[in-house]
């Protein structure tokens, strides 16, 4: 299946020292890509890279804070100059903060928006400038089932992921003419460190299993196929799309 073969391509995955980002980086490596792991914590990043190298994958590390516009630009430009092209970008870095909206702290709102929305713009723009010059590139933004739905206590997160979905459309609208494919994946409820409190809550897990047609939490490995597809030649005419991988929760009442 050569359409899905990523051999010879380099993929940068932000926030990839654990959870969904690590799983996606591993999946892209399995499809043949050389992966560039990113995080703010150099020690944790080195541990993640060592784990992938132990499996025989080609791995590079790039430490930067996705919420620092100048730092992002310097890191991306420096890497492109010294190591070569980034062919695939997965904007995965994100955070959650659960508080009733009427009590939601302003500083937490700002931090959440910087992490979930600003970072997609900062990293996306920095990488796209090089992709545009080459006339090719794949950008995959990690949205959420909350791009389309809402739950109590996470209104700002819902707003941020709605913004990611619309920013993805904007990226495609501006950059498709330059040979870029810009799409998003919207995960449903997955067993990740970000959802640890919910996974360990028997009442919530019981609700989720009843609410989701598939009847269970998702496994992070189940996001890999969508990411490989959107990163590959198989998605050459897919642009501005948000692909929901959620066990059917967004389609069922």
Three-class secondary structure of residue 121 per DSSP: helix
Q: What does the CA dihedral 149, 150, 155, 161 come to, rounded to 10 degrees? A: -20
When comparing pLDDT for 149 and 1, which is higher? Answer: 149
Residue spans of the domains in the chain: they are 2-245
Specify the CATH number for 2-245; select among 3.40.50.920, 3.40.50.720, 3.40.1160.10, 3.90.380.10: 3.40.50.720
Beta carbons within 10 angstroms of residue 142's beta carbon:
25
Q: What is the pLDDT of residue 196?
A: 87
Q: What is the pLDDT of residue 205?
A: 96
What confidence category does residue 1 fall into, taking pLDDT thresholds of 50, 70 and 90? confident
Catalytic position from the list 22, 122, 157, 189: 157
22 is catalytic: no
Beta carbons within 10 angstroms of residue 245's beta carbon:
18
Cα dist from 10 to 107, 126, 156, whole Å: 36, 16, 33
Q: Is a pLDDT exceeding 90 seen at residue 231?
A: yes
Q: Crossing angle, helix 106-113 and helix 155-175, to 10 degrees?
A: 30
**Mean pLDDT throughout 191-195?**
85
Note the pTM of the prediction, 2 decimals.
0.97
**DSSP secondary structure letters along 18-66:** SHHHHHHHHHHHHTT-EEEEEES-HHHHHHHHHHHHHTT--EEEEE--T
Tokens of 183: 């799409």
Asked if 35 contacts 55 with a C-beta cutoff of 8 angstroms, the reply is no
């Amino acid at each position: 299946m050569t359409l899905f073969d990523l051999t010879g391509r380099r993929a940068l995955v932000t926030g990839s020292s654990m959870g969904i980002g690590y799983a996606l980086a591993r999946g892209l490596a399995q499809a043949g890509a050389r992966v560039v792991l990113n995080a703010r914590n150099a020690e944790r990043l080195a541990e993640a890279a060592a784990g992938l190298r132990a499996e025989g994958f080609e791995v590079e590390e790039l430490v930067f804070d996705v919420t620092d516009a100048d730092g992002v630009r310097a890191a991306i430009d420096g890497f492109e100059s010294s190591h070569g092209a980034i062919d695939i970008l997965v904007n995965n870095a994100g955070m959650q903060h659960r508080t009733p909206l009427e009590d939601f702290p302003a500083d937490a709102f700002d931090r959440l928006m910087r992490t979930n929305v600003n970072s997609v713009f900062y990293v996306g723009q920095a990488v796209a400038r090089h992709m545009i010059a080459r006339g090719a590139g794949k950008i995959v933004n990690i949205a959420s089932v909350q791009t389309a739905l809402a739950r109590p206590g996470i209104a700002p997160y819902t707003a941020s992921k709605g913004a990611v979905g619309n920013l993805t459309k904007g990226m495609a609208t501006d950059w498709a003419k330059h040979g870029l494919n810009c799409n998003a994946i919207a995960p449903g409820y997955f067993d990740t460190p970000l959802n640890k409190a919910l996974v360990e809550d028997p009442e919530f897990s019981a609700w989720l299993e009843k609410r989701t047609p598939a009847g269970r939490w998702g496994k992070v490995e189940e996001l890999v196929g969508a990411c490989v597809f959107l990163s590959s030649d198989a998605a050459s005419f897919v642009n501005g799309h948000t692909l929901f991988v959620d066990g059917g929760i967004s389609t069922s009442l």
